[in-house]
């Protein structure tokens, strides 16, 4: 009797848990702020400035979603998560979504019961070497010492790459990016390998950046994007389409400067639909008509966000590359707003 009561309570509690997390949108509106899982600090993508305000490429996605859902881009609570805690934080409901340069992989999508709703940055693992090493391709790195962060997928990619090309290397294990930079500058390793965006940021801060080159080979696919948990498809849709609204805005020429008037001045029906001048797309997701307008007004379109945080005018200086619009030879391709 006691036992059955206990299990009954447990079942009721877990059923309650299922219901309680089923309507993320209502939870967020009741709470009045969006809980966004973010990085404890990654240059250009998510880091607090001297005033404690989070800035960065990933943070901009959180802000756009808060603007779309709550009408205020500042109503976000950023929950810093480490590589170990990020997925538990999302699964347990501690955060509403995770925008923490997490790679979309099969097991994360299926086994961990998450949905990667979009890709906001196509990254890939690369190598940085000193110019006087005389190497122009990663395939010439036979016998090199390579600085590699332990416990990451980059470690496995590195082993695969060298095995596939039948060349050897000596790993120098480091704990994090700053230590890797230190070891690399001190000459403890010939090459440093991590995501290409991280390499670019590291190279930009070296005292003699011109003496270091990033090799052309990209040895892995790292599609990074916002993640939500299973069980609330509408919330996944909101995150996905808010992001695609930013991408489509760049394609259609909606910018933070013209977002307030272009909705009425243009004849392009897709722009009018996105900005809520025509149709009722917001209502289909439980939002109001001007959700996308606010999301774009928060930080500008995808291209503006890219340029402001990691683009070529910033010290990090990343080229658009794969992250250009599909019309420009990149992979950024928003499905039609129809």
Partner 1 sequence: MAESNHAFVRTAILPPQAPPLTEKGAIRWLRENLFSGWFNTILTLAALWAIYSLVSASLPWWLNGVWNAGSLGECRAIVAERAGPDATGACWAMVRDRWHQFMFGFYPQDQYWRPTIAFGLLFAAITPVLFSGQKRLRTFMLIGVVAFLVATLWLATVPMLPAGLTIILMLAVLALAQVRPAALMWFTVIYPALAFFLLWGGSFWVPAAAMAGLPVLLLAYRLLLPWTGVGIAAGAGIGLALLWWAVLDAPVAAGLARLAPIGLEPVASDRFGGFLLALTIGVTAISFSLPMGILLALGRQSDMLLIKTLSVGFIEFIRGVPLITLLFTASLLLQYFLPPNTNFDLILRVIILVTFFAAAYIAEVIRGGLAALPRGQYEAANALGLDYWSAQRLIIMPQALKIAIPGIVSTFIGLFKDTTLVAFVGLLDPLKGITQIVRADIAWKGIYWEPYIFVGAIFFVICFGMSRYSMYLEQKLKRDHR
Candidate segments 82-90, 146-154, 161-169, 228-236, binder of partner 1 by CB under 8 A: 82-90
Spatial CA neighbour of 240 closest among 54, 108, 115: 115
Q: Does 42 bind partner 1 (CB under 8 A)?
A: yes
Q: Would you say 42 or 295 has its CB closer to partner 1?
A: 42
DSSP SS3 for 170? strand
Cα distances from 12 to residues 9, 15, 101, 113, 298, in angstroms, run 5, 5, 36, 22, 41
Phi and psi angles of residue 50, each rounded to the nearest 5 degrees, phi first = -65, -20
Candidate segments 64-72, 172-180, 216-224, 263-271, binder of partner 1 by CB under 8 A: 172-180
Q: Would you say 92 or 234 has its CB closer to partner 1?
A: 92
Secondary structure, 3-state, 54-89: EECHHHHHHHHHHHHHHCCCCCEEEEEECCCCHHHH
Q: Does 47 bind partner 1 (CB under 8 A)?
A: yes
* Out of 36, 43, 122, 318, the residue judged to bind partner 1 by CB under 8 A: 43
Q: Does 120 bind partner 1 (CB under 8 A)?
A: no
Determine the straight-line distance between the first and last CA of the chain, rounded to whole angstroms: 57
Spatial separation of the C-alpha atoms in residues 23 and 238, rounded to whole Å:
12
Q: Does 176 bind partner 1 (CB under 8 A)?
A: yes
DSSP SS3 for 126? strand
Q: Does 167 bind partner 1 (CB under 8 A)?
A: no
Give burial (CB, 10 Å; 0-12/13-18/19+) of 82: exposed
Q: Does 214 bind partner 1 (CB under 8 A)?
A: no
Candidate segments 9-17, 116-124, 146-154, 214-222, binder of partner 1 by CB under 8 A: 9-17
Shortest gap between Cβ of 289 and partner 1 (angstroms)? 30
* Out of 60, 66, 79, 246, the residue judged to bind partner 1 by CB under 8 A: 79
Which residues of the shown chain bind partner 1 in the complex (CB under 8 A)?
A: 13, 16-17, 20-21, 27, 39-44, 46-52, 77, 79-82, 84-85, 88-89, 92-94, 176-179, 181-182, 201-202, 204-207, 314-316
């Amino acid at each position: 009797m006691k036992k059955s009561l206990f299990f009954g309570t447990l079942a009721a509690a877990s059923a309650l848990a299922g219901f309680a997390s089923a309507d993320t949108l209502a939870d967020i509106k009741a709470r009045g702020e969006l809980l966004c899982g973010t990085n404890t600090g990654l240059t250009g993508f998510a880091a607090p400035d001297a005033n404690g305000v989070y800035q960065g490429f990933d943070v901009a996605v959180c802000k756009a979603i808060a603007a779309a859902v709550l009408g205020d881009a500042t109503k976000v609570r950023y929950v810093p998560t480490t590589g170990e805690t990020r997925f538990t934080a999302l699964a347990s409901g501690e955060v509403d979504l995770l925008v923490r340069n997490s790679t979309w992989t099969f097991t994360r999508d299926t086994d961990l019961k998450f949905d990667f709703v979009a890709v906001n940055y196509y990254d890939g693992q690369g190598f940085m070497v000193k110019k006087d090493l005389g190497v122009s391709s990663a395939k010439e790195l036979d016998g090199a010492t390579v600085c590699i962060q332990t416990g990451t997928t980059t470690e496995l990619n590195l082993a695969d790459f060298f095995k596939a090309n039948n060349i050897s290397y000596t790993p120098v294990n480091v704990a994090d990016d700053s230590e890797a930079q230190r070891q690399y500058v001190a000459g403890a390793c010939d090459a440093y390998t991590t995501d290409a965006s991280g390499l670019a940021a590291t190279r930009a801060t070296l005292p003699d950046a011109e003496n270091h080159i990033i090799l052309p080979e990209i040895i892995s696919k790292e599609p990074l994007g916002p993640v939500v948990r299973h069980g609330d498809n509408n919330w996944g849709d909101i995150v996905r389409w808010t992001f695609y609204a930013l991408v489509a805005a760049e394609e259609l020429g909606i910018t933070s400067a013209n977002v307030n008037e272009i909705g009425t001045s243009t004849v392009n029906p897709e722009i009018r639909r996105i900005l809520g001048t025509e149709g009722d797309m917001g209502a289909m997701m439980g939002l109001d008509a001007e959700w996308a307008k606010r999301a774009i007004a928060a930080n500008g379109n995808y291209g503006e966000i890219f340029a402001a945080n990691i683009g070529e005018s910033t010290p990090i200086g990343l080229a658009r590359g794969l992250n250009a619009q599909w019309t420009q030879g990149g992979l950024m391709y928003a499905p039609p707003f129809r």
